[in-house]
Homo-oligomer: A and B are copies of this chain.
């Protein structure tokens, strides 16, 4: 990637300052910045600071509530619904993770359905927050239609991610964050720019017919190739938890993320589950087990030219590198940041 690099803390301040200038309150700006920096720090650039211009636009457009009054309705000792009042999705998801952890300390497991929320960026950010509290975290969210069903020929589910994080003794959690589509859309864009064929069974054209030409891609395939019912089923599970247990829309009903309507709230949902290891085998034994398991995994034999890694291993290595060398910004983001900096009256972070 060509372009500038930016220091992590400068980036965080810049993102928060731009959203404050857009009118968002301090908690909303800080949560959005924290979430984007989670992704930018770990190398998940598709869900990092690249999203800042989008969030700026939808705060200004009215889709997002600049000063939400969220309300948590704890229905049982381990369950409840957080009405996010059309907050930024990151503010809602961090709050839901906190409520889920509080309930898990009490009930052993806690789950929060989030209603009236919005795009929350990297699902892993909120799972990570729970792991930092010593808990196992699971996070799901639906989104507008972009993935066909198994044997389907139109966009139906969103990329409907599932993330999970598990604490380890060495500090960096086991951290897993996947879309239930066969591949991420940014991979399509990458293959387009490289002129490479897409892998088998990963994307379709406007008629739902499989294509390996990145230029013809109009929808993604569900994870699983010939066994795409697996990816579609996982996406459905995410849909049921995020959209239906919260009383929200389902993916095909959700307004497109990119507009043109940027003033109407999208009635999206998300779902957060927190597990307290002390409600099961206990934290000490879980951490000892994780160490035994991860050692076996990392020392198992790998194919020539490959390397066996646990979920998160690549990302934590990248985080170490980016802490020293900063975050690379693609040229388009650099231009957008200059525009946003000018309007907000703040300095660019590079």
Measuring CB to CB, which residues of chain A are less than 8 angstroms from any residue of chain B?
75-81, 106-111, 113, 136, 149-154, 156, 164, 166, 174, 176, 178, 182-183, 199-202, 208-209, 223-227, 229-230, 232-234, 236-237, 239-240, 243-247, 250, 252-253, 273, 275-281, 285-286, 289-290, 292-293, 296-297, 300-303, 306-311
Contacts and interface: CB of A to CB of B under 8 A. Distances in A.
A197 to B, nearest CB: 12
Given A279-B79, A311-B236, A224 B226 contact: no
Given A149-B308, A297-B149, A111 B108 contact: yes
Contact of A224 (B136, B176, B224, B240): B224
A306 B182 CA distance: 19
A194 to B, nearest CB: 14
> How many copies of this chain does the complex contain?
2
A156 B276 CA distance: 27
Given A113-B280, A244-B286, A250-B293, A152 B227 contact: no
Given A78-B108, A107-B108, A239-B293, 9 more contacts: A108-B111, A109-B109, A149-B297, A149-B302, A151-B303, A156-B297, A178-B230, A182-B224, A244-B286
Contacts of A244: 281, 286, 289-290, 293
A301 B153 CA distance: 5
A76 B107 contact: yes
A344 to B, nearest CB: 38
Nearest to A115: B281
Contacts of A78: 77-78, 107-110, 279
B153 A302 contact: yes
Given A225-B199, A250-B292, A81 B281 contact: yes
The 6 closest A-B pairs by CB, nearest first: A79-B108, A151-B306, A76-B108, A79-B279, A78-B107, A244-B289
